[in-house]
Amino acid sequence: MKEIKGSIMINVPAEKVWATITDCSSYPEWNPFVTRMDGEMKEGGVFDVVVSLPGRDDIKYRTTLMKMEKDKELRFKGKIMFQLSEEHSKFIEQIEENKCVFSQSIVFRGLLSYFAGGVIKDSQLGLNKMNEEFKKRCEKK
């Protein structure tokens, strides 16, 4: 098992953070890490995902929305390839009326997680960049 994670303070209400993170159709406009995520935003919904990492081929896989708590949490679980799966959690914690902490973690499981160090390191960089761009997107609207 390997895990990457990151969080960022966003100066908007939780409802706005939620509306932005659940608008997957807008990801190509601002998200440098998860550049495509097509599916139905409901528990049990299956999504086609494309992850872009600098200097590497895009990674395409399917994930399922396992948990959805409005304005608070999204939890996905998918299989990237043989012997490599992921659990991607996104959390929104409202600190003040117009201030939230947005956190993400991705847990990689399976035999390949022990041999995918470069991809996992690049994924951490991608997740960090996504959080930065997500903050800009939320605070801009």
Reading the block at residue 40, the tokens are 């139905």
d(CA 37, CA 49): 5
d(CA 108, CA 2): 5
- Does residue 92 contact residue 75 with C-beta atoms inside 8 Å? no
Q: H or E element: which one contains 17?
A: helix 14-21
Report yes or no on whether pTM surpasses 0.85: yes
d(CA 109, CA 69): 24
Kindly report the length of the chain: 141
Q: Along the chain (141 residues), what's the average pLDDT of each consecutive run of 10 residues?
A: 97 98 97 98 98 93 98 97 94 97 97 90 96 97 63
| Single-letter residue type at 52 | S
The number of distinct structural domains making up the chain is: 1
Partnered with residue 30 across adjacent β-strands are: none
- Does residue 75 contact residue 67 with C-beta atoms inside 8 Å? yes
CATH code at position 71:
3.30.530.20
Instruction: Of 86, 90, 101, give the one whose Cα is nearest residue 51.
Output: 86
Distance of CA 115 to the CA centre of its chain: 22
Residue-number span of the structural domain to which 131 is assigned:
2-140
